[in-house]
């Protein structure tokens, strides 16, 4: 057999199917073996004990009726004694020997011993005539039998207590062994049937359990090759395998969504990078090859400078997002949310003034202590204010307010008046590079990342944000965990 075939053979038997089957078959076989040995030993001993007891009872009955016969030296044999011996032999399936005190058989039910001089071995005589008063064991009776027999011997005594002989009950050991041979045959046949049933049951159970795992292996290979469309079939099972299949499909959906977002992210960032880089390269080449006149070089150099800064801001914003997403265990602290709101509002003062907006600030004069990362929450407020100012109608009012839910949360609300956001577009506001005006060329200062940063920071804080837009009024509200009451002093 080649090494490759040996390897395939080993792999086949290393599979879960064969491991489970061999384990099941081994356990069933071991159980049957232990039960068979235990039953054989117990029943064999019980049967032998029962036969010996029965043989002894009949031997003692014969001994009680043969005292006169042995006392006369075998001269007063009566037909009743012979009939009793024949009857006992028929009932017990054993032969009986009536022997004198010298150990010689005078009367027997075994026709095979007719004409033979049968002498009982000395060890049997010592046991019967000694203190023990009986004998049981195996013996060939001084060679009278070819093989050793089961032998039970009891003494024959008279009324005065004198011993005049013995009675031997002899049974062929093969008559007992034939029963055990039948039992062994029945045992092996039963074991074969049980093993066959175990094989079928184990095969069906193993295939039912292993088939979904094999499908998962194939699906995993497809995922490794970049194909995320493969799904596990609905097994309709509510056990662990069913839960695993459902979880596997959920994982596949998540991977597919991640791949979709990755592809979209690459496409979006390529678009965002392409515009300023094309502008920079085009105007630079125009200056170098003289296409742009010298008197206009300063104008186009300013455009190149603006696009370079815009490109730098985009890269920094992407790095900020990556840094925020990498913070698995943020170190939260207690800080005054009111102060953070005032700082964010002051930072937006120039942009608010340039848009000609009024500000309505509903910020409590007392401190409202919350838990979180102060700089990141301040960034959230700033991004929401910046987004609201950008899309607010000129001359309208920009609202920034803080309320407490009465529970353990503070709620910050930023509201503006402008165009109504369509309901189908609201879930898309927090995606990367999404812009509500759908115009990437008109909004040179925006990248579609501000609200994505907001969502990322709040997700890291395990907080929620909601958006409503009706009749031109758009409102963003997010929650922040209040500090412990004992700390809010």
**Whole-number Å distance between alpha carbons of 290 and 300:** 13
Is residue 155 very low, low, confident or very high in pLDDT (cuts 50, 70, 90)? very high
Tokens 């265990």 sit on residue: 329
Average pLDDT on 24-48 reads 74
Q: Rank 177-191, 327-341, 413-427 by mean pLDDT and report only the highest.
A: 413-427
Lowest mean pLDDT among 67-76, 118-127, 389-398: 67-76
pLDDT at 309 > cutoff 70 = yes
Token pair belonging to 271: 């678009």
Angle in degrees, 0-180, between the axes of helices 16-65 and 3-13, rounded to the nearest 10? 70
**Whole-number Å distance between alpha carbons of 420 and 468:** 9
Q: What is the model's pLDDT at position 440? A: 36
Tens-place pLDDT, residues 162-208? 888 899 999 887 766 666 666 667 777 877 787 788 777 777 777 77
pLDDT at 4 > cutoff 50 = yes
Q: What is the model's pLDDT at position 336? A: 93
pLDDT at 76 > cutoff 60 = no
Give the residue from 441, 465, 439, 462 showing the smallest Cα distance to 451. 465
Q: What is the model's pLDDT at position 438? A: 45
Contact 370, 297 (CB under 8 A): no
The percent of residues in the chain predicted with pLDDT above 90, rounded, is 16
Is residue 358 very low, low, confident or very high in pLDDT (cuts 50, 70, 90)? very high
Q: Count of CB atoms within 10 A of residue 332's CB?
A: 15
Tens-place pLDDT, residues 244-287? 777 878 888 888 877 776 776 676 667 666 767 887 888 888 88
Q: Rank 22-36, 59-73, 312-326, 388-402 by mean pLDDT and report only the highest.
A: 388-402
**Whole-number Å distance between alpha carbons of 118 and 353:** 137
Give the residue from 219, 214, 218, 217 showing the smallest Cα distance to 229. 219
Tokens 């696009």 sit on residue: 307
Lowest mean pLDDT among 12-21, 209-218, 268-277: 12-21
pLDDT at 54 > cutoff 90 = no
pLDDT at 436 > cutoff 60 = no
pLDDT at 96 > cutoff 60 = yes
Q: Any residues with CB less than 8 A from the CB of 371 and at least 6 apart, and which? A: 332, 333, 334, 480, 481, 482, 483
Average pLDDT on 40-54 reads 75
Q: What is the model's pLDDT at position 396? A: 93
For residue 41, what is the enclosing H or E element? helix 16-65
The pair phi, psi for residue 87, each rounded to 5°, is -65, -45
The pair phi, psi for residue 407, each rounded to 5°, is -110, -120
Is residue 416 very low, low, confident or very high in pLDDT (cuts 50, 70, 90)? very high
Token pair belonging to 381: 């407020």
First-last CA distance in the chain: 84
Give the residue from 390, 443, 446 showing the smallest Cα distance to 418. 390
Tens-place pLDDT, residues 444-471? 455 567 788 888 888 888 899 999 999 9
């Amino acid at each position: 057999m080649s090494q490759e075939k040996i390897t395939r053979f080993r792999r086949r038997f290393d599979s879960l199917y064969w491991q489970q089957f061999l384990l099941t078959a081994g356990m069933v076989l071991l159980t049957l073996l232990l039960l068979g040995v235990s039953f054989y030993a117990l029943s064999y001993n019980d049967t032998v004990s029962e036969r010996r007891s029965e043989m002894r009872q009949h031997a003692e009955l014969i001994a009680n009726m043969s005292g006169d016969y042995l006392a006369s030296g075998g001269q007063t044999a009566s037909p009743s004694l012979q009939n009793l011996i024949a009857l006992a032999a028929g009932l017990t399936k054993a032969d009986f020997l009536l022997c004198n005190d010298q150990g010689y058989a005078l009367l027997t039910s075994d026709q095979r011993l007719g004409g033979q001089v049968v002498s009982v071995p000395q060890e049997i005589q010592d046991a019967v005539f000694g203190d023990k008063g009986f004998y049981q064991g195996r013996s060939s009776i001084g060679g009278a039998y070819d093989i050793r027999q089961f032998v039970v011997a009891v003494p024959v005594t008279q009324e005065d207590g004198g011993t005049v002989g013995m009675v031997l009950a002899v049974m062929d050991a093969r008559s007992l062994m034939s029963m055990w041979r039948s039992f062994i045959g029945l045992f092996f046949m039963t074991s074969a049937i049980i093993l066959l049933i175990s094989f079928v049951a184990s095969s069906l159970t193993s295939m039912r359990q292993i088939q979904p795992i094999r499908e998962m292996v194939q699906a995993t290979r497809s995922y490794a090759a970049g194909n995320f469309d493969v799904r596990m079939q609905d097994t309709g099972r509510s056990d662990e395998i069913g839960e695993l299949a459902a979880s596997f499909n959920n994982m596949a959906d998540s991977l597919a969504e991640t791949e979709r977002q990755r592809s979209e992210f690459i496409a979006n960032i390529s678009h965002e990078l392409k515009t300023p880089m094309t502008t920079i390269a085009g105007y630079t080449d125009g200056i170098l090859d003289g296409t742009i006149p010298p008197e206009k070089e300063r104008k186009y150099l300013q455009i190149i400078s603006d696009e370079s800064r815009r490109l730098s801001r985009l890269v920094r914003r992407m790095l900020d997002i990556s840094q925020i997403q990498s913070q698995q265990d943020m170190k939260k602290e207690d800080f005054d949310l009111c102060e953070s709101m005032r700082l964010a509002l002051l930072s937006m003062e120039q942009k608010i003034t340039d848009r000609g907006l009024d500000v309505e600030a509903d910020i409590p004069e007392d401190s409202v202590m919350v838990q979180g990362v102060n700089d990141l929450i301040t960034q959230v407020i700033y991004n929401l204010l910046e987004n609201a100012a950008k899309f607010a109608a000129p001359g309208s009012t920009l609202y920034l307010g803080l309320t407490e839910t009465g529970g353990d949360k503070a709620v910050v609300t930023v509201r503006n008046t402008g165009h109504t956001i369509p309901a189908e577009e609201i879930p898309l506001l927090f995606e990367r590079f999404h812009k509500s005006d759908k115009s990437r060329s008109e909004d040179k200062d925006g990248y579609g990342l501000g609200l994505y940063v907001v969502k990322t920071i709040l997700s890291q804080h395990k907080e929620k944000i909601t958006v409503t837009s009706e009749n031109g009024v758009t409102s963003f509200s997010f929650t922040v965990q209040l500090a412990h009451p004992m700390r809010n002093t």
